[in-house]
Structure 1
Amino acid sequence: MIIPALKKTYNGKTVLDCPETGIRDGSITAICGHNGSGKSTLGKILAGIIKDDNSKTPDAKLRVGYMCQSSLPFRMSVKRNLLLNADKELS
């Protein structure tokens, strides 16, 4: 999948400035970075929860799973939460 260059600002502060990049279909990809580096913002844009400043989104046919970091739906491990909510069409 090709992710277009994305930028997101809040109140004039840039929280995400990501160049165009690609992720191999079917791969498992980790997004790593320091606090405040834009990881959650990128995840929300890819999942279609929010739009970037230019209203660019990846391919409309793309389906991305997103689990927020603040709380898990059920009191069990992250792995069990992911397996419980797994969708074979998501990659």
Structure 2
Amino acid sequence: MLISALFLLASATSPVPATPTETPAVVEPSPSATCPVCGKTIEPGQGTKVSIRGREYTVDDTACSNQLMADPDKYLESDGTPKNARK
């Protein structure tokens, strides 16, 4: 009985091996976007999202959003690429 009590005590106080820490994955910053209406560079997390023909675009502000929604053909190619996109 004494031996089993000592075994339990020893196992309860023995150090638990440390688990290796995982190195966090490197997250690449999102590339900046260009407003298809005014051409301004929009940094990640900025601007307004607009959905046109099932595709999402980031525009500079509400005014650009309204212009793009009112006349998408003026700012977008037939395949959805912004007309002011770098080729």
Normalised by the length of structure 1, the TM-score is 0.20
**Bigger helix fraction:** 2
Larger Rg: 2
Relative contact order: is structure 1 or structure 2 higher (C-alpha 8 Å, sep ≥ 6)? 1
